[in-house]
Amino acid sequence: MIYLIKPAWYRSQLITIIQDYLKEKHPNKKLIIKRKYTYQSPNEINTFIVINDSKLRPWDGLEISKKIRLYEPKALLILASTEIDYVKIFRSHIGFFGIIDLKNISKKDIQNDIEDSIKRLTNQSNI
């Protein structure tokens, strides 16, 4: 499954890009939008796209990502952030599969991250 974890009132063209891509290329896959992380079935490896906006003080995408990594160590995490601080991201030791720059959204990069995660999950489930 592919989950997007974001604040309830948060708007971004990222959601539309992902939904349109999945509808076109992978109609059997859906983007599930959630406001908080809840532990998922350990039988399935999931992809989580986590919003991290530096302007949102009560919302901390890195902390949410740490929680996901703690409970689902094999999950694929993609950080979608308005502020890309690679040193901070590296030092968090979360192990992100991809990083999306929300200030300079690249439709192609987003599509590549989604496609790569689907391929990786498909390969892992065939093992």
Q: What is the CATH number of the domain that holds 99?
A: 3.40.50.2300
Judged by DSSP in three states, 3 sits in strand
Residue 107: domain span: 2-125
Q: What is the pLDDT of residue 88?
A: 85
pTM over 0.85: yes
Which pair of tokens denotes residue 36?
């908080």
DSSP string, 59-96: --HHHHHHHHHHH-TT-EEEEEESS--HHHHHHTT---
Length of the chain in residues, anyone?
127
Tens digit of pLDDT for each residue in 7-40? 888 888 999 999 999 999 999 999 999 999 988 7
What pLDDT, on a 0 to 100 scale, did the predictor assign at position 57?
78
Number of domains in the chain: 1
Q: How many alpha carbons lie under 13 Å from residue 118 in its C-beta half-sphere?
A: 17
CA distance 94 to 48: 13
Sheet bearing 76-81, strands edge to edge = 31-34, 2-5, 47-52, 76-81, 98-101
Residues of the chain with pLDDT under 50: none
Question: So what's the pLDDT on residue 59?
Answer: 84
